[in-house]
Amino acid sequence: MSGWSLPPALGEVIDLAAIDDADGSRWLALTADGTIAALDPDGDEITVLATVELVDEPEHQPWGNHPLRRRLHASPCGRFAAVVNDYGRYGRVVDLGRGGVVTLALDGGNYHSNTVPFSLTFAVVDDRPVVVHRTRWNRLDVSDPATGELLTAREIEKTSEQERPPHHLDYFHGRLLCSPGSRTLADDGWIWHPVGEPAVWQLRPWLDGNVWESEDGPTRQRLCYRDYYWDGPLCFVGDDLLAVGGIGDNDETMLPGVRLFDVASGRELTSFAGPAGAWFSDGRRLYSAQHDGLHIWDPLTGHRTGTLPGFTPTCRHRGSGELAAVTDGVLHRWRA
C-alpha cells in the first residue's frame, strides 16, 4: 500500500472519486470549501479545476442516523463532476473542462429525500457521457452533462385523484449504481410503508426505445423486499451480477452478508454471510471495507481470500484497479 501526502493548502478533503478512463491513477477530490482538484499521485501533481458552490439546506431535518453529506461523483472521462447532498434535495453538475461551469442544477424534491442518498450516477453511451439523476421522489431522468439537455422527456397523464395514472411508480429512488460497461442501472430505494426494494433495469432501452423503462419497462427487475431496510452495501460484480447487502427480511433480524442476483432475470444465485461496510468489485473479487480493514471475498463461493487490516477504502479506480481513501491528509492506495 502506498501513501501520498497532500499539501495542507488544499484543505480538508471530504470526498474522493476516481477518473476511471484515465491512464494510470488519477482521482478527483472535493474539499470542505467546494474546491475540486485533480490528483495525480504518480506524477506528484495536484491541479485545482474548479470551486463549486455547496448548496445549503437550512430547513433539512436529519432522518435516523443520516445527516446531510456532500458527495462527489465523477464521469469516467473526468470532464464532468457532480456535487450532491446525500440525504438532501440539491446538487450541481459541472463541466470541469470549462472551469466548473454549472451545466445542470439538480433538485430531487423534498418528499422524504432525507431517507436516501441523492440518486445520481454517470454512465457512457456511444462514447458519450450521460448523467442519471432524481428529479422527483419517484422519477429519474437522464441528461447530457455538457449541456443539461433532458434525454428522457415524458409526462404522466392526469387522472382523477382516485385513479392511479399509467406508469406511476410508488417508489422512493435511492442510491444509484451503473454497471462497469454502462449496461445496467441499480437503484436501492424503498416503497411505502417502508420496505426496501433494490431494482435493476437496462440503460439502452430507456434511451433508445422506452422512456418509461425506469418505471415499468420490460427490463426492470425487482430483486427482493426487506422491511425497514435499504441503503445497505450494494455493488455490481461485472455487468451481469449485483451483490446486495443484508441477509434477512427486516432490519431487526438482518445479518451482514451478500445476496448475489442475476440482473437480467432478477434471480438470486447464492448468498453468504460476512461482508459488511462499503463494497467494491473487479468482477472476480468482492472487496468489503469494514471497520477493521479491507476484506477480500470470492463472490461466487463466499470464501474470504484475504484481509488488509487498517485500510478502509472509499472508492475504486476501474482503470488502475486501485482502492483508495484520503485519511488525515494522505491519499492511501492499494491494488491486489
Query: Residue 247: which of 226, 221, 223, 220 has the closest Cα?
Result: 226
Predicted pLDDT of residue 165: 85
Question: Quick one: CA dihedral 229, 64, 82, 142, positive or negative?
Answer: positive
Q: Are the C-beta atoms of residues 116 and 87 closer than 8 Å to each other?
A: yes
**Confidence class of residue 315 from pLDDT cuts 50, 70 and 90?**
very high
pLDDT of 162 above 70: no
User: Cα 81 to chain center, whole Å?
Assistant: 13
pTM of the model: 0.96
What is the number of helices (H) and of strands (E) in the chain?
A: 2, 28
42-63 pLDDT per residue, tens: 999 999 999 999 999 999 999 9
Q: Which three cell numbers stand for residue 202?
A: 437496462
Q: What are phi and psi of 215, to 5 degrees?
A: -90, -55
pLDDT at residue number 73: 98
Three-state secondary structure call for residue 264: coil
> In Å, what is the CA distance from 308 to each residue of 54, 192, 299?
35, 40, 18
**Residue 67: other Cβ atoms inside 10 A:** 12
Distances 215 to 1, 45, 119, 219 between C-alpha atoms, Å? 43, 44, 15, 10
Is residue 242 within a helix (H) or strand (E), and if so which, with residue range? strand 241-247
* The three cell numbers locating residue 281: 468489485
* Predicted pLDDT of residue 156: 84
Which residue is listed with cell 434525454? 151
* Per-residue confidence (pLDDT) for residue 161, from 0 to 100: 65
The pLDDT of 260-288, averaged and rounded, is: 98
160 vs 145, residue with greater confidence: 145
pLDDT exceeds cutoff 70 at 192: yes
Residue 160's pLDDT is: 60
With left for phi above 0 and alpha for psi between -120 and 50, is residue 302 left, alpha or beta?
left
Tell me what percent of the residues of the chain surpass a pLDDT of 90. Answer: 95
Beta bridge partners of residue 47, listed in sequence order = 38
